[in-house]
Amino acid sequence: MGNQPIRTIIVDDESLARKRIIQVLNKTSEFEILAECSSGEEALQKIHKLNPDLIFLDIELGDMDGFTLLENIHLPRTPFVVFITAHEHFAQKAFDVLAFDYLLKPFEESRLSKTLLRVKHAYKKDESSGMGDKINALFRYIQNVDDLEFKQQEGIRFFPVKQSGKIHLIKIEDIMYIEASGYYVDIVTGTKKYLVRVSMTGMLEKLNNKNFIRIHRSVIIHLLYVKEIQKLGQNDYSVVMKNDQSFKISKSYKNEVFQRLEL
């Protein structure tokens, strides 16, 4: 690739993260910063206009995720990609398996310097020809949600949902409740609702989290979002969530629910 600098675009909606990368890149003449972008839409325009050799790409952007952005890049030569992520376990599983380099926020300058050394080595060996195949493999890996191993001892930290051509990473602590809807379930957070094709039993297995409990064959609640328990009759009760949505507790689940709530 000669002695030409590695032409770089930085894509991250956090200005601090962009500045940290820029500060380190400015210390060497081996990298040329073409642009810094705070949104996916802006990044797509700059990438297609400037045709960079390297992209630092945040997974979670305001208007789209990093994977959607990659799917919409159409260049004769696929750039090197270094992912930036705040999701430690996702990065370790998906990126380590497919040998992508990534920066885990908040990252130190020493970690970024090691990444730059690897990029320079790969660039000199002209290894970018295989980057397109690696990215396609990453898409297949992520989209096969059922095979992703996000579980920890206390359950997964976030849940991937495919919707409208995007993969949303929903923080587990943001899920208020899950309600069955035919062959699907509605995952409800404080601000949004996501429709996912999975069974209620399968959902509980994926969550593997002690703060979630099934109160009805069609309802799973997050205990941390319970506002109150209401008595409806002699032996009937309902759960009222913090958004004032209420669900009747099925008699077959009542004992378990009361034990978990220590009632």
Look at residues 91, 108, 143 and tell me which one is the last residue of a structural domain: 143
- 131, 139, 211 from 25: Cα distances, Å: 22, 29, 44
pTM of the model: 0.55
196 and 67 share one domain: no
10 and 134 share one domain: yes
Q: What local confidence, expressed as pLDDT, does residue 154 receive?
A: 43
189 and 134 share one domain: no
11 and 136 share one domain: yes
For residue 194, what are the domain limits? 158-260
What is the average per-residue pLDDT within 189-217? 85
What is the average per-residue pLDDT within 50-57? 93
User: How far is C-alpha 158 from the chain's CA centre?
Assistant: 7
We report the CATH number of the domain holding residue 75 as: 3.40.50.2300
Strands 6-11 and 54-58: parallel
| pLDDT, tens digit (0-9, with 9 covering 90-100), for 139-158 | 665 555 444 444 443 445 67
120 neighbors 30 (Cβ within 8 angstroms): yes
Look at residues 143, 170, 191 and tell me which one is the last residue of a structural domain: 143
135 and 202 share one domain: no
56 and 183 share one domain: no
88 and 199 share one domain: no
Structure-model confidence comparison of residues 149 and 59, the more confident one: 59
Structure-model confidence comparison of residues 15 and 138, the more confident one: 15
Q: Which two tokens stand for residue 197?
A: 């094709």
115 and 195 share one domain: no
Is 150 inside any structural domain? no
Is 226 inside any structural domain? yes
What is the average per-residue pLDDT within 173-182? 89
256 neighbors 223 (Cβ within 8 angstroms): no
For 112, half-sphere exposure in the C-beta direction (CA atoms, 13 angstrom radius) is: 19
Number of domains in the chain: 2
18 and 52 share one domain: yes
| pLDDT, tens digit (0-9, with 9 covering 90-100), for 120-133 | 888 877 655 566 66
66 neighbors 43 (Cβ within 8 angstroms): no
For 170, half-sphere exposure in the C-beta direction (CA atoms, 13 angstrom radius) is: 25
